[in-house]
């Protein structure tokens, strides 16, 4: 058959939703940073050498033996019942309020789908998790940025905003935020939950890193405070998302949402249209690992990331010029660097790459732009000697750029 040149203009046929999507700025940057000699603080990958490979192999075997062909069959949209039960027990809520999702990333997309109509006001931290912006963007939100400092969201600014601006949703990462590594103060959490409750604003609390605390005291989750505030799991205006990606392994794509029953019912419908259910065997594998391997793994990861963060911070304090600011995370995988205002971290990245070190420039993490003089460093997947060499190279790059 002679091939016919397609008369179809695919771009013209894209939906409005598809038009709102854009390539992740980080993905493009990561391509450059993946050359073998480059020490990369850019990616947000968990440390692969810590993955419990043998334990996952045994768990897969155990699940296949325990469930036989049911492990490979379609299963319920809500999720594997023993996994939902366990999550419910940990959170002190009924399993009916737990929805298993294929990565928190799917959770964010489904929440965007069921909650955001075009033009709805969505409040986000400045800066915020880029993946959430990507998930919400196709649904056409109007972003309003909330100012943040070392204690997280400025709740006075939030209150002033809510007095004048009706908002639908507030999205926040209160523990060891991606990208800044900051944690929301305990007192501010209470006020945030009380204010959003009073003004009828839903809160999405995205908490993949909460278990990875290596110093300081844990604060109650917004979800727990929401339960206290409203007194009932089915009137709680806080929706909680977490994941086994950072505590166990990301590749199984097992995560969950805790929410009021009417929202769970809608999420089930949305998920049916998306992927019917999260892979059955993957959920069973995770369930096999919950009681024994998961707590040990969390301890291993905490220790390793705590050590790596400590080494990175020590070298930063020795190598970076005085007028460069940086956060000191108490957990998670990231820290945030603020260069003098006149510097541009995107331009500087090219110079850093010539010294074989990479990071992610900060501006893509701002919903409304800005932050050109900021950058994110990840310490989770670099070894201590790489951290030392990489931070030394980055210190030289910054000093050279400052001198010009």
Q: Which residues of this chain interact with ligand PMP, rule CB under 6 A?
A: 44, 103-105, 129, 131, 173, 178, 206, 208, 243, 245, 250, 255
Distance (Å) of CA 176 to CA 181, 187, 203, 216 = 4, 16, 18, 12
- Our CB check for ligand PMP shows the closer of 130 and 281 to be 130
Return the residue matching tokens 């009924």.
Answer: 94
Least distance from C-beta 21 to ligand PMP, angstroms?
Answer: 17
Q: How distant is the alpha carbon of residue 324 from its chain centre?
A: 25
Least distance from C-beta 178 to ligand PMP, angstroms?
Answer: 4
Least distance from C-beta 394 to ligand PMP, angstroms?
Answer: 22
Least distance from C-beta 214 to ligand PMP, angstroms?
Answer: 17
Question: How do strand 357-358 and strand 152-153 relate by DSSP bridges?
Answer: unpaired
Rounded to the nearest 10°, the torsion over CA 173, 178, 182, 183 is 30
Element (H, E) at 107: helix 103-115
User: SS3 of 235, please?
Assistant: coil
Q: List the helix and strand counts (H, then E) for the chain.
A: 15, 14
Least distance from C-beta 85 to ligand PMP, angstroms?
Answer: 20
Least distance from C-beta 383 to ligand PMP, angstroms?
Answer: 21
- Our CB check for ligand PMP shows the closer of 131 and 364 to be 131
User: By Cβ distance, which residue is nearest to ligand PMP?
Assistant: 103
Longest dimension (CA), the chain: 71
CB 334 within 8 A of CB 212: no
Least distance from C-beta 392 to ligand PMP, angstroms?
Answer: 27
- Our CB check for ligand PMP shows the closer of 40 and 397 to be 40
Least distance from C-beta 368 to ligand PMP, angstroms?
Answer: 19
Q: How distant is the alpha carbon of residue 184 from its chain centre?
A: 15
- Our CB check for ligand PMP shows the closer of 226 and 250 to be 250
Least distance from C-beta 18 to ligand PMP, angstroms?
Answer: 21
> Which of 182, 168, 45, 188 is closest to 127 using CA atoms?
182
Element (H, E) at 257: strand 255-258
User: SS3 of 151, please?
Assistant: coil
Output the 3-class SS for 331-384.
ECCEEEEECCCCCCHHHHHHHHHHCCEECEECHHHCCCCCCCCEEEEECCCCCH
Q: How distant is the alpha carbon of residue 168 from its chain centre?
A: 21
Q: What is the DSSP secondary-structure string of 295-310?
A: HHHHHHHHHHHHHHHH
- Our CB check for ligand PMP shows the closer of 255 and 285 to be 255
- Our CB check for ligand PMP shows the closer of 56 and 324 to be 56
- β-pair partners for 170: 123, 203
Least distance from C-beta 173 to ligand PMP, angstroms?
Answer: 5
**HSE-up of 237 (CA within 13 Å, CB side)?**
18
- Our CB check for ligand PMP shows the closer of 39 and 132 to be 132
- Our CB check for ligand PMP shows the closer of 251 and 340 to be 251
Rounded to the nearest 10°, the torsion over CA 352, 354, 358, 362 is 40
- Our CB check for ligand PMP shows the closer of 59 and 204 to be 204
- Our CB check for ligand PMP shows the closer of 181 and 306 to be 181
d(CA 107, CA 112): 8
């Amino acid at each position: 058959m002679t091939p016919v040149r397609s008369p179809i203009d695919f771009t013209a046929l894209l939906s409005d939703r598809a038009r709102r999507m854009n390539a992740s700025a980080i993905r493009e940057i990561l391509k450059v940073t993946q050359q073998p000699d480059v020490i990369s603080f850019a990616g947000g990958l968990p440390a692969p050498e810590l993955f419990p490979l043998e334990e996952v192999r045994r768990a897969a075997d155990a699940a296949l033996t325990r469930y036989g062909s049911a492990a490979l069959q379609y299963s319920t949209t809500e999720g594997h019942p023993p996994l939902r039960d366990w999550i419910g027990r940990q959170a002190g809520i009924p399993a009916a309020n737990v929805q298993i999702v294929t990565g928190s990333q799917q959770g964010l997309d489904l929440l965007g789908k069921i909650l955001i109509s075009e033009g709805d006001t969505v409040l986000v931290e400045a800066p915020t998790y880029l993946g959430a912006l990507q998930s919400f963007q196709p649904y056409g939100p109007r972003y309003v940025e909330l100012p943040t400092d070392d204690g997280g969201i400025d709740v006075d600014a939030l209150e002033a905003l809510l007095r004048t601006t009706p908002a639908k949703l507030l999205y926040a990462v209160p523990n060891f935020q991606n990208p800044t590594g900051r944690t929301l103060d305990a007192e501010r959490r209470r006020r945030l939950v009380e204010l959003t409750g009073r003004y009828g604003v839903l809160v999405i609390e995205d908490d993949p890193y909460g278990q990875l605390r290596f110093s300081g005291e844990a604060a109650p989750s917004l979800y727990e405070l929401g339960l206290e505030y409203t007194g009932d799991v089915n009137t709680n205006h806080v929706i909680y998302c977490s994941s086994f990606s950072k505590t166990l392994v990301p590749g199984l794509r097992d995560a969950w949402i805790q929410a009021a029953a009417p929202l769970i019912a809608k999420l089930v419908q949305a998920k049916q249209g998306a992927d019917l259910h999260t892979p059955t065997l993957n959920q069973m594998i995770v369930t096999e690992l919950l009681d024994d391997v998961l707590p040990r793994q969390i301890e291993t990861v905490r220790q390793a990331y705590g050590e790596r963060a400590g080494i990175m911070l020590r070298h930063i304090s020795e190598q970076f010029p005085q007028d460069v600011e940086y956060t000191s995370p108490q957990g998670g995988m990231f820290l945030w660097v603020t260069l003098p205002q006149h510097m541009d971290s995107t331009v500087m990245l090219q110079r850093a790459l010539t010294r074989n070190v990479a990071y992610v420039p900060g501006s893509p993490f701002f919903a409304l732009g800005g932050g050109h003089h900021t950058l994110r460093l990840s310490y989770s997947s670099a070894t201590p000697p790489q951290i030392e060499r990489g931070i030394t190279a980055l210190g030289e790059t910054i000093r050279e750029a400052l001198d010009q």
